[in-house]
């Protein structure tokens, strides 16, 4: 079946602009995650959605970052007033809750470059 998809694959934006990154999880997966991968920082957790529960936003680095998940499926990560340090690959993952398993499947990522 189809895996996790993300769009766009690449995004170049000017400092100070807002950007939106999109994630389509695997159909039927109830959990959705956003991570950021930057040079020297490795992979960092940003936010987690599970069903209709309040999201876990504990990894968001500043209030310029926000995310929503509509209809329990598609998610959008928004970065306002982008800064150069926001340049990174943003990865989305989804999982199906099976007891404590929560095996995560990742999309190809969106490479964001802030100039």
Applying CB under 8 A, the residues found at the interface with another protein are 4, 31, 33, 35, 42-43, 45, 48, 50, 56, 58-59, 91, 93, 95, 100-109, 111
* Shortest distance in whole angstroms from residue 107 CB to another protein: 5
CB atoms within 10 A of CB 53: 10
* Shortest distance in whole angstroms from residue 91 CB to another protein: 6
CA distances from 103 to 16, 29, 38, 72, 99 (A): 36, 10, 23, 18, 10
* Shortest distance in whole angstroms from residue 87 CB to another protein: 15
C-beta closer to another protein: residue 82 or 95: 95
């Amino acid at each position: 079946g189809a895996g996790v998809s993300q769009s766009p694959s690449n995004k170049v934006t000017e400092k100070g602009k807002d950007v939106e990154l999109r994630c389509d999880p695997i159909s039927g997966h109830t959990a959705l995650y956003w991570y950021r991968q930057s040079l020297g920082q490795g992979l960092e957790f940003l936010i987690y959605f599970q069903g209709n529960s309040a999201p876990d936003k504990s990894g968001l680095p500043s209030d310029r970052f926000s995310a929503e998940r509509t209809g329990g499926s598609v998610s959008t990560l928004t970065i306002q007033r982008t800064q150069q340090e926001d340049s990174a690959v943003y990865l989305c993952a989804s999982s199906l809750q099976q007891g404590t398993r929560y095996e995560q499947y990742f999309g190809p990522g969106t490479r964001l470059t802030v100039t």
